[in-house]
Amino acid sequence: MSAYWAKIKHTGPMFVYVCWGTVLLLMLLRWVFAIHFKVFVYSDKVWELLFAVLMPLPGILILLRSRTKKIVYDKPRARHAVLGFAFFTTLLMIVFSQNFMSSYFAKLQEVNRVEDIARYPRVRFYRIKQYQLALGGTGTYIDVSYSSSYKKGEKRRQGETNKKLNYAAYVVTPMMGDTTQFNYFKAPKYWLGLDFAQRFDYNIPEQEKELRFRELNSYGEQQAAEFKYERPDHFENYPQSYDEKSYKHAIGYKVNRVPEDYMVLRPVYRRFEDRTGNTLFMVFAVFGIGSVLFALLLTGGDFVTQDPV
């Protein structure tokens, strides 16, 4: 038992330092260079995903790896598993912390008409008092994908899969001050964006697949038509990096040329004050769960006082 606590004392503090040091460093860098001074103008996806993958690597491969050298495992992969788990713990903490920053520091701009958004192009959230939907310009694009999972106990013997068919519908409708000005040859800049998904067994008859495809398409158009009766709290300027191609395809079905500066506005029904959700809690939850599992991984291996040759 004393050997186990020696491993905890030797590697535990470095695990905490790497996790929180990386998270807080990236939050500080983003606040200084992207939010306060606006030196770096990256999309939220870059901060939440790309930096989440890159930032943990130096601390894991240099600092934490040097600490694990005094733990001798029968299999070298065991040490890699410890480092890999620390990496994914830090990665998830960064994802949630950066998502928290994206929402917390986002600005809500109130505008009278949807065309007034042009004066505030880099704002993430808008509260629009007056707008109309050109339902005749509603476009739908359905992305088709497949997923499969092997049946338990049959993967090696038979290779059978439980294949699923996934339909993801992206629906766009022009948002304008005056819908009588809608022109198929001059695409509107602002579009209401809605999305819906359906997942079902791949082995159903082809006729049923086509039927569900048409039903999802009709459902999306119906939801767009009924949206005029809804009153969301505000709209989110949906980053083009998220599902960009899918929304662009939907717009392209209704207009000859998609404008380069088009904007997809997605309805948000929760209050703006509640925009961060539970993302900050998730940072601490991931760290807490990660710390417990990291400690369990240290039960294996022998602790030596000198670095192994």
Which of 273, 195, 196, 276 lies closest to 233 in space, CA to CA?
273
Confidence of residue 183 (pLDDT cuts 50, 70, 90): confident
50 belongs to a structural domain: yes
Pair 80, 139 in one domain:
no
Residues 248, 305: Cα–Cα separation, whole Å? 60
From 37-41, 141-145, 164-168, 205-209, the region with the lowest mean pLDDT: 37-41
- Range name among 150-154, 208-212, 272-276 with the lowest pLDDT average: 150-154
Per-residue pLDDT of 271-281, as tens digits, reads 999 999 999 99
Q: Are residues 159 and 242 in the same domain?
A: yes
Specify whether 58 is located in the same domain as 101: yes
> ∠ CA(209), CA(213), CA(214), 5° rounding?
120
Give 91-143 pLDDT, tens digit per residue. Answer: 999 999 999 999 999 999 999 999 999 999 889 899 999 999 999 999 999 99
- 176 & 285 share domain: no
Instruction: Please check the confidence at residue 157 and state whether its pLDDT lies above 50.
Output: no
Neighbouring-strand partners of residue 127: 110
Determine what percent of the chain is predicted with pLDDT higher than 90: 72
| Angle in degrees, CA 131, 134, 139, rounded to 5 | 125
Q: Is pLDDT above 50 for 179?
A: yes
Q: What is the pLDDT of residue 308?
A: 52
pLDDT score, position 42: 84
The boundaries of the domain holding residue 14 are 2-105+276-303
The predicted structure's pLDDT at residue 149: 59
List, in order, residues 6 or more apart from 101 with CB less than 8 Å away.
27, 30, 31, 35, 47
Average pLDDT, the chain: 90
Q: What pLDDT, on the 0 to 100 scale, is given for residue 307? A: 55
Q: What is the pLDDT of residue 48?
A: 93
Is the domain of 146 the same as that of 246? yes
Element holding 281 (H helix, E strand): helix 279-297
Indicate if 145 and 226 belong to the same structural domain: yes
pLDDT value at 254 more than 50:
yes
**Does 126 share its domain with 136?**
yes
Cross-strand partners of 114? none
pLDDT of 156 over the 50 cut: no
- In this prediction, residue 45 carries a pLDDT of 83
Distance (Å, whole) CA 300 – CA 159 = 34
Return the higher-pLDDT residue of 160 and 141.
Answer: 141
Whether 209 and 133 share a structural domain: yes
- The Cα 8–Cα 18 span in angstroms is 15
69, 80, 73, 63: which is closest to 305 by C-alpha? 69
pTM for the full model?
0.80
Asked if residue 308 belongs to a domain, the reply is no
- Collapsing DSSP to helix, strand or coil, 74 comes out as coil
Residues 81, 143 share a domain? no
- Judged against a pLDDT cut of 80, whether residue 240 lies above it is answered with no
The reply to whether 143 and 241 lie within a common domain is yes
Number of separate domains in the chain:
2
Asked, for residue 309, whether it belongs to a domain, the answer is no
In a shared domain, residues 122 and 235: yes
7-40 pLDDT, tens digit each:
999 999 999 999 999 999 999 999 999 999 989 8
Most confident of 2-11, 51-60, 252-261: 51-60
Q: Are 304 and 72 in contact (CB under 8 A)?
A: yes
Domain match, 239 and 205 both: yes
301 three-class SS: coil
DSSP conformational letter for 116: G
